[in-house]
Each structure stands twice: as structure tokens, then as C-alpha cells.
Amino acid sequence: MRIPPFARYQRLLANFALMVSGAIIGSAVYMSIHQHTYTQLYVEMHKYLQENRDLRNDIDSLNKTKNKQSLINIVNVHLVSKNQDELISEDIQKEIESDIKSELKLVIGQKATYVKDAQPLYEKLITQKTYILHDKKYIVEVKSIVLIQTELTVWITAQEKRT
């Protein structure tokens, strides 16, 4: 039995190997682009889901008090930096704001006059409270509380507690 010489198939085998390696590299590049795009869409989807939840909560609170104009409908919390040296990342700011907003959720549906009279109570509820986020402690202080018609707006500062 005679075995055909390998030299005959060397070019064919080299071309086949080049084609297979090109397919592997092309698929790797395609998957990296696809994964990057998918990650961006995932982050965007969670941002929209959070915005949707916030808007649904606002709609629920507005529907609950739509016939009563002297009741608090919306609570807004804004975190401002205490000094420009210590800037807090945006995700931690959002978490602190949402935690304080959930604590002040008990204000929604109360009469504006009661809330106006009890502003020091709400200020004490938030001031000097410690939040632990991402293995860091943050101390929150109230800068101001403003009540405009049916909307309660709270400006706070947060500072990382160093131990």
C-alpha cells in the first residue's frame, strides 16, 4: 500500500489552518463587541427600571392624594457635596438619596401644616445618621428642608466617616 506524499497537501493544510485561525479571531472580536454592547444595554435597562419604579411611586402617591391639595405628594432628596475635595461617587449618592427618601416616605399623605410644624423632627430623623455602603461609613447631615405647596425637598450632605 502506498501513502501519498505529504508535500502535496502542505499548501492546502496551511490555507485551512489560516482560515480556521481567522474564524477564531473573528469570532473573538465579534463576541467582545457583542459583550460590550450587551453590558451597556444592561446598565441602561437598570437605570430605566429604577426611573420607572420612581415614577410609579410618584404616580401612586399622587393618586392617593389627588383630591386633597393640602397634603404632601412628593418627597425629593438632593445630596450636595460638603466640600469639593471629597466627592462621593454617583452610585453612592443615589443609594443615600434613595435610603433617605424611603425614610421620609411616611411624610407622603400627611397634611402640609403638620409637616411644616414637625420639620425639626424630620431633621433629627436624618441628621447624624450613619449609612454603610460599599464597606464605607457615611454620616448624613441636613442642610435645609423646604416645603413648597405639596412637595417636600430636602438638601443633605454626606461625609465619609474615617476611623
Most confident of 3-12, 39-48, 64-73, 122-131: 39-48
The CA–CA distances, whole Å, from 81 to 5, 90, 100, 156 equal 78, 11, 16, 8
77 and 27 share a domain?
no
Domain boundary pick from 69, 89, 112: 69
For residue 74, the tally of other CB atoms under 10 A from its CB is 18
Residue 68 has pLDDT above 80, yes or no: no
140 and 91 share a domain?
yes
When divided into structural domains, the chain yields a total of 2
Computed over every residue of the chain, the mean pLDDT equals 86
Residue 40 has pLDDT above 80, yes or no: yes
Q: Are 140 and 157 in contact (CB under 8 A)?
A: yes
Segments forming the whole domain that contains residue 108:
70-160
Task: Give me the mean pLDDT over the 53-78 stretch.
Answer: 82
- Structure confidence at residue 149 (pLDDT): 81
Span 103-152, pLDDT tens digits: 888 888 888 888 888 888 888 888 888 888 878 888 888 898 888 888 88
Question: Which is it for the CA torsion 101, 77, 115, 117, positive or negative?
Answer: positive
76 and 135 share a domain?
yes
What does pTM read for this prediction? 0.57
- Structure confidence at residue 130 (pLDDT): 84
Question: CA-to-CA distance for 43 and 21, rounded, in angstroms?
Answer: 33
